[in-house]
Structure 1
């Protein structure tokens, strides 16, 4: 099985699809149907990851892989740290 994952800030979708020899990361992402359900994915260049590491769309998968459909960061991590320091908070601290 292959897992295809798409996550927003407060919600995530994990779809399992059958593994087939020679399946690429792009094929898995398309077969999972998440791009049809979430049109915003197609509104920018598609970036895919495999267990947290970026891979090309033609990357050949192995049984048990997890393909992640990446989205852009909402804010640059350095800017997030600057804002936290400016308000006297620590990273990850809730208001």
Structure 2
């Protein structure tokens, strides 16, 4: 009998998360775990040729080997560049009369 690993395959949408626990043979890859989990049938919108995958938040190639208790994550494409989103929040906060989120007290409100 060959050794097996327990791994989880995870895909998160804005309103729901799919987490599938499976056993894979020792030496299995990220791709093999994704295929064995059936997550691609449940979420046909996943396109592994365009979307990144990783293990515990670190991007990995599909042929990366797995270890026992790894969590394989399938990442959705970013809608907005994180740096740009932060700059928009800062600009909005400044327009509202504060600097980096700290409201300054006016002389009248003390």
Q: Any stretches of 5+ residues in structure 2 without a counterpart? A: 1-5, 95-99, 102-110
Distance of aligned partners of 1:5 and 1:43 in 2 relative to their CA distance in 1, 3 Å threshold: closer
**Is the Cα–Cα contact under 8 Å of residues 51 and 77 in structure 2 kept in the other structure?**
no
The residue correspondences of 1:1-95 to structure 2 (distance < 5 A) are 1-42=6-47, 44-88=49-93
TM-score (norm. length: structure 1): 0.84
Q: Give the 4+ runs in structure 1 shifted more than 4 A.
A: none
Equivalent residues, number: 91
Aligned mates of 1:7, 1:67 — CA distance in 2: 12
| Cα RMSD, aligned residues only | 2.0
Q: Any stretches of 5+ residues in structure 1 without a counterpart? A: none
Pick the structure with greater CA Rg: 2
CA deviations 1:18-57 (Å, max 9, x no partner) are 1311110001011111111111112752421001001111
TM-score (norm. length: structure 2): 0.74
Distance of aligned partners of 1:75 and 1:44 in 2 relative to their CA distance in 1, 3 Å threshold: farther
